[in-house]
Structure 1
Amino acid sequence: MTTLYKMQKVEDVDVFYREAGRLDAPVLLLLHGYPTASHMFRDLIPLLANDYHVIAPDLPGFGNTKAPPRGTFDYSFDHLAQIVIGFTNALNLKKYALYVFDYGAPTGFRVAVAHPERVTAIISQNGNAYEDGLSNVWGPYQAYWRAPSEKTREACRDALSPEAIRMQYLHGADPLKVSPDGYTLDIAYMSRPGMDDIQLDLVLDYRTNVASYPAWQAYFREHQPPLLAVWGDQDPFFLPAGAKAYKRDIPEAEVHLLNTGHFALETNARDIADYIRDFLKRKVKDVS
């Protein structure tokens, strides 16, 4: 299946997205994380497009999506979710499975809570919803959340550096299997004018995600969405305990730990695609 590259207007945002698969196939909506964009799914999309209608947008502030500058646009997770909901409405997506990774998880969980009737399943790949999953790497960010100031904000700036972005890809992964193309492109995206302050705004707003964990967990308990967690178990940010915690609220959740890092698709796209196909065929009976 050929991947198509499109734009969709949502409010004052031009949302760039990748699309592949038959239009009448079950929809799988892929939501990326920091510091990347829908290009993180470049290997996964062709592996799933024969069975699913796969759609992967770039969130505002990332990739090729064109959003207004900081100061005229609210770069918050609530607003990112609002744009995603508007995007699904514009594409007339009535039902979809969600694939959530990193920042895509708090965005996607807001979408799911707003429209539980639309979500057929959730695949969480290093997408956290439990304090169990937060490693001690989050220390500087938590200090910023507790006491926002220029000093605590600046202490988070190192996370935007090329070295930090490269580390996200390589930590815990076989470096021979990680293409430099992904992190090189992310470094270029993050070096654009004004991007650092947009990202630091999102770092501060991440505290709202942690505060929302109980609400998302209540959604899991009430609605019992079929949930598959596929997790790079060497992730320095989101620990395997975060994957296992889903089973507290969704006892039938399935958890698979992979011997790789945060960007598990860079090394294990085929494994993850196999898990997704098997899981959705067994767990999602009616997606029309």
Structure 2
Amino acid sequence: MISEEIAPLDKNYKFNYFLIRHLDRPVILFLHGFIGNIHEFDEVIKLLGKDFSYLTLDLPGHGKTTVLGGNEYYKMEPTAKAIINLLDVLKIEKCFLVGYSMGGRLTLYLTLHFPERFIKVVLESASPGLLTDTERLARIKSDDKIAQKLTRIIDKHEFNIFLENWYNQPIFANFKNHPAFQHILESRLKNNPLELTKSLRFMGTGYQPSLWEKLAENQIPLLLLVGEYDEKFININTAMSYRSELAKLQIIKQAGHNTHLENTLAFVRKIRKFLI
């Protein structure tokens, strides 16, 4: 295992990443969701074993990754380019790509704008963004309220209260019953609330470019994974599957929004079968 921080060629980011190399095995790049970190997929990687090599990283605004440029470098477009730069630095010409939630939206952007770099792609509880300006404006206002709460956090206790309220959202109802939920919560507390604010304000669903129309241009096999209890994202991903001939939707039983933690075995079985 290699654990390093590096400054990509454009000098606007210093990524914290783990690279696990298994000889002659293709790389899977995992991208975590909002409030997650580099360890989001540790259990998945453990179960996949030596069938693949693995690259995980802290996205901008999360963990130990540092944005050296201005606020615009928290946005999706420059972040995607920086990840491609990181792949170049690590001499990874092509790889598999797996993204969850916010990381899934970034994953779809990478897939549609840099198709030559990816073999197959898994989107977990992801979306192409919002179709209309009205929807985007409403989401921006909603996320700004959350961001304001984050900016007022002054200690770990207040951050813990924020996270508990965050996971009280209906889409996380099943996730809160996970036996390791408290451990996961502790991991989330390692993030910096002010950095999370920037991620929310500049890479939130309301700010990202809509990818709905571009889905028809997709050239890469896509596996769309959603939990059976996540009705909102079942509907979104059903619509996505109609837009791209190469997209295949599968439902993971006994899981809500965070399928890779709520039903890890099923998640691993599905991505292994798809990628191999």
The alignment's TM-score, normalised by the length of structure 1, stands at 0.78
The question of whether the paired residues in 1 share the 8 Å contact of 2:7 and 2:15 is answered with: yes
Cα 1:273–1:144 change in 2 (3 A) is closer
Provide the alpha-carbon RMSD of the alignment.
3.1
197, 216, 219: which one aligns with 1:218:
216
Q: Kindly provide the amino acid, as one letter, of the partner of residue 175 in structure 1.
A: N
Cα 1:58–1:200 change in 2 (3 A) is closer
Post-superposition shift, 1:51? 0.8
Cα 1:54–1:155 change in 2 (3 A) is closer
The question of whether the paired residues in 1 share the 8 Å contact of 2:35 and 2:196 is answered with: no
For 1:172 and 1:116, locate their aligned partners in 2 and report how far apart those are by CA, in whole Å. 34
For 1:207 and 1:130, locate their aligned partners in 2 and report how far apart those are by CA, in whole Å. 7
The gaps in structure 1 that reach 5 residues or longer are: 133-138, 282-288
Post-superposition shift, 1:170? 4.2
In the alignment, does 2:228 pair up with 1:233? yes
Q: Deviations over 1:158-209 (max 9, x none)?
A: 5882223333684133714343222222134143xx3253134226x53343
Cα 1:167–1:187 change in 2 (3 A) is farther
In the alignment, does 2:251 pair up with 1:257? yes
Taking the TM superposition and a 5 Å limit, the aligned residue runs for 1:161-180 are 161-167=162-168, 170-173=172-175, 175-180=177-182
Partner of 2:154: none
For 1:183 and 1:218, locate their aligned partners in 2 and report how far apart those are by CA, in whole Å. 38
Q: Secondary structure at 1:5's aligned position in 2?
A: strand
Partner of 1:182: 184
Identity of aligned residues (%): 20
Q: Kindly provide the amino acid, as one letter, of the partner of residue 42 in structure 2.
A: R
Partner of 1:108: 107
The gaps in structure 2 that reach 5 residues or longer are: 151-158
For 2:5 and 2:216, locate their aligned partners in 1 and report how far apart those are by CA, in whole Å. 35
The question of whether the paired residues in 2 share the 8 Å contact of 1:179 and 1:266 is answered with: no
Post-superposition shift, 1:77? 1.2
The question of whether the paired residues in 1 share the 8 Å contact of 2:67 and 2:73 is answered with: no
For 1:130 and 1:197, locate their aligned partners in 2 and report how far apart those are by CA, in whole Å. 19
For 1:212 and 1:251, locate their aligned partners in 2 and report how far apart those are by CA, in whole Å. 15
Q: Kindly provide the amino acid, as one letter, of the partner of residue 211 in structure 1.
A: S
- Matched pairs, number: 261
Post-superposition shift, 1:21? 4.0
Cα 1:144–1:95 change in 2 (3 A) is closer
Partner of 1:246: 240
The alignment's TM-score, normalised by the length of structure 2, stands at 0.81
For 2:248 and 2:139, locate their aligned partners in 1 and report how far apart those are by CA, in whole Å. 34
Taking the TM superposition and a 5 Å limit, the aligned residue runs for 1:196-215 are 196-202=196-202, 206-209=205-208, 211-215=210-214
